[in-house]
Amino acid sequence: MAMVDYGAIAWKDGKLISTDMFTPMEDMVGWSDINESKSVGSNLTLAGNCFGYIGDKDFTIGFYKNVMRIYSSVDENYNETIYFGSEPFKKWSYWKKWYFFTSVYDDAEVIVRPRKFHDYYICKMDYRGHKYKVAFGYGVDLKYYKKTHIIDYYGTPWFKIGSLCRDIKYKFEDWKWSKGL
């Protein structure tokens, strides 16, 4: 069973780079903003505040729950925090630039899509000759993935069937209690 409600799993060129629930930023992208003179997005630092990271010192994306934090050392106006799931996916007029956008670097393209029938997202990025992929959001559990190669336990049929059975059992017990049986 999944031990966490949210998480992120990152791959670089098909190789798993996540090593723990909170993999250190320096291990994943080669730098850390803890001791930087300027912090990301005014008073926010990425290091220690995200489950996973992709990119490098010039362009870094951090993932925490349903949040994606983008940092660019070249363009400070590009530092953004995006909350997925807070707006319906049908509002493409605002969100489209975040689902399909090209960064300030001509060689970085980031695509984020929701996973159908699940509560997590897949981010794919081609950047400086590397292909990154990150699964992040509800039910993503690195330990469960390492054991079974299934990204989210909560999206599996056995969890959904078990949840349905528990819901029916609780409804029946509530009905019996209300009738005094």
168 belongs to a structural domain: no
Domain that includes residue 131, residue range: 6-154
161 belongs to a structural domain: no
Q: What pTM was estimated for this model as a whole?
A: 0.77
106 belongs to a structural domain: yes
- Position 91 scores a pLDDT of 40
Retrieve residue 82's tokens: 């995006």
Q: With beta carbons less than 8 A apart as the criterion, state whether 141 and 4 touch.
A: yes
Per mean pLDDT, which of 47-56, 73-82, 92-101, 112-121 is the most reliable? 47-56
116-126 pLDDT, tens digit each: 677 788 989 98
- Position 99 scores a pLDDT of 47
- Position 107 scores a pLDDT of 65
97 belongs to a structural domain: yes
The candidate with the shortest Cα–Cα distance to 120, out of 96, 156, 71, 73, is 156
State the total domains in the chain. Answer: 1
Residue, of 71 and 96, whose pLDDT is higher? 71
Share of the chain above pLDDT 70, in %: 77
Burial of 158 (0-12, 13-18, 19+ CB in 10 A): exposed
Q: Is residue 87 over pLDDT 60?
A: no
84 belongs to a structural domain: yes
1 belongs to a structural domain: no
Element (H, E) at 127: strand 120-127
Share of the chain above pLDDT 90, in %: 34
- Position 96 scores a pLDDT of 43
119 belongs to a structural domain: yes
Across 3-11, average pLDDT:
85
159 belongs to a structural domain: no
Across 95-100, average pLDDT:
44
Mean pLDDT, the chain, rounded, equals 79
71-81 pLDDT, tens digit each: 887 776 667 77
